[in-house]
Amino acid sequence: MRNRHVLLVALGIDNVGSGLFLPLPILYATRVVGLPVGVAGVVITIGTAVGFAVPMVAGRLVDRFGPRVVVIGAQVAQAAGAFGYLLADGVAVLLAAAVLLAAGQQAFYSSLFALIGDVAGPGPKDRAFAVVAMVRAACFGLGGLVVGAALAGAGPAGLRIAVAADAVSFLVAAGLLMAFLRVTVVHHPAPPAGAGVLRNRPYLALIAVTALFALAVDFFLVGIPVYVLDILDAPAWLPGAMLALLTAMTSVAGTAVVHWTRRLSRTTSMTFGAACYVIWCLTSLAAMLVPPGWRPAYLLVTLLPIGVANLIGARGNALAEAAAPLASRGRYLAAFQYAFTTAGVAAPAVVALFALGDGLPWLVVSASSAAAGVALPVLARHLPRAAVAGN
């Protein structure tokens, strides 16, 4: 029980810091470092791209040393990257900081699921993933509120304080895990030659389907401000209010959704979640037909289906953990993170489709979700039965 509390506290602190920093890299590079926005964007994009090579290395380290060590190392690397932003006075230092931060972030997510699984212990881990998601969402939202206040009132000094607080949060979280989290590393027999994730077609299909499933989340984060402000000409406060409401839903209802879907298989639950994403896309698209005065209330109501779908995502994470062979679990779960990386990279390109038509991005995202929903029942027949059942 103590291990679970330590992990939740550490992840909460970590995510307050992440909420402080996630909106800031380009803004910090332009307002504090003094780079043109085009240069800043290219530098940070290069740094982020370098981080994409990290997951498979991190996965091997997890299989050899256990996830706790890798998570702690990832947090230290992210702290170093954040401190690098504070020291940045030009392109070179900023690029090094962006690389460190991205590498640490990719290593963190590549090892986090395995650590949650170890701390949760034997048996289904759907509830454990849901609780972690609730804590992380609440703390990320808190960090976002703090940075909003900093941006409103403190100027460049506020940006520096936010970045410094982010760096400290990573170190505090790493220190807590190092001092108080005790997880036994179990070494399983090596998998047979040729049994790697690249040869496991059902698991690769799970990664691809999860990327389709996750696109809606990333599209919401980067696309809603464009749609609400530029297409619908809605009030400037509405995107922030929508994000706050969705965060609140994720923070309080995660375990309830796991409980409500406990009699369903994990893939059936995810199919229902995919249908919810389709409903969200189509109802959001229909906002163009709603009278302008009613649009804020209407768009807030449309968050219900995407909120439910996001909460069901915890069951998908548990499916990935349960379907991974024990001997190479670290590598499998690291590869699984590419589903979210792919969705994150694709989302801005989908948002750019607003230039071709106001409804085109919504149709693309709804088609992606529908494809995931159709594929999941087929995929379920090829994954381990116990992993699919989840109960």
pLDDT digits over 107-136, tens only? 988 888 888 888 877 777 778 888 888 888
**For residues 85 and 164, what is the distance between their CA atoms, to the nearest angstrom?**
9
Give yes or no: residues 11 and 144 share one domain. yes
What does the pLDDT read at residue 152?
Answer: 59
Total count of domains within the chain:
2
* Token pair 């994403």: residue: 277
Residue 206 CA: distances (Å) to CA of 128, 276, 331: 21, 19, 15
For the chain, the average pLDDT equals 85
Are 26 and 122 in a shared domain?
Answer: yes
- Structural domain span for residue 131: 2-180
Q: In whole angstroms, how far apart are CA 256 and each of 194, 266, 271?
A: 40, 15, 18
Residues 258, 329: one domain?
yes
Residue 158 lies in a domain: yes
pLDDT the model gives residue 195: 60
Do 244 and 328 belong together in one domain?
yes
What are the residue ranges of helices labelled H in 66-125?
A: 67-87, 91-120
Which pLDDT tens digit goes with each residue over 218-258?
888 778 888 888 888 888 788 778 888 888 888 887 788 87
190 found inside a domain: no
User: Amino acid letter at 309?
Assistant: A
Domain-terminating residue out of 180, 213, 231: 180
Indicate if the pLDDT at residue 188 is higher than 60: no
pLDDT tens column, 203-220 = 999 999 999 999 998 888
Q: Flag whether 301 is in a domain.
A: yes
Of 137, 154, 180, which residue is a domain's last?
180
Residue 297's pLDDT band (boundaries 50, 70, 90)?
very high
CB 224 within 8 Å of CB 117? no
User: Per the structure block, which two tokens stand in for 352?
Assistant: 């750019």
| End position of a domain, from candidates 180, 209, 226 | 180
Contact present, 169 and 16 (Cβ < 8 Å) = yes
CB 16 within 8 A of CB 139: yes
Whether the Cβ atoms of residue 10 and residue 176 lie closer than 8 Å to each other:
yes
- Residue 155 belongs to a domain with what CATH number? 1.20.1250.20
Instruction: For residues 342 and 262, give the distance between their C-alpha atoms in angstroms, rounded to a whole number.
Output: 29
User: Do residues 158 and 228 share a domain?
Assistant: no
The answer to whether residue 293 is domain-embedded is yes
Kindly state whether residues 44 and 143 are assigned to the same domain: yes
| Same domain for 253 and 317 | yes
Return the top range by mean pLDDT from 18-32, 253-267, 354-368: 354-368
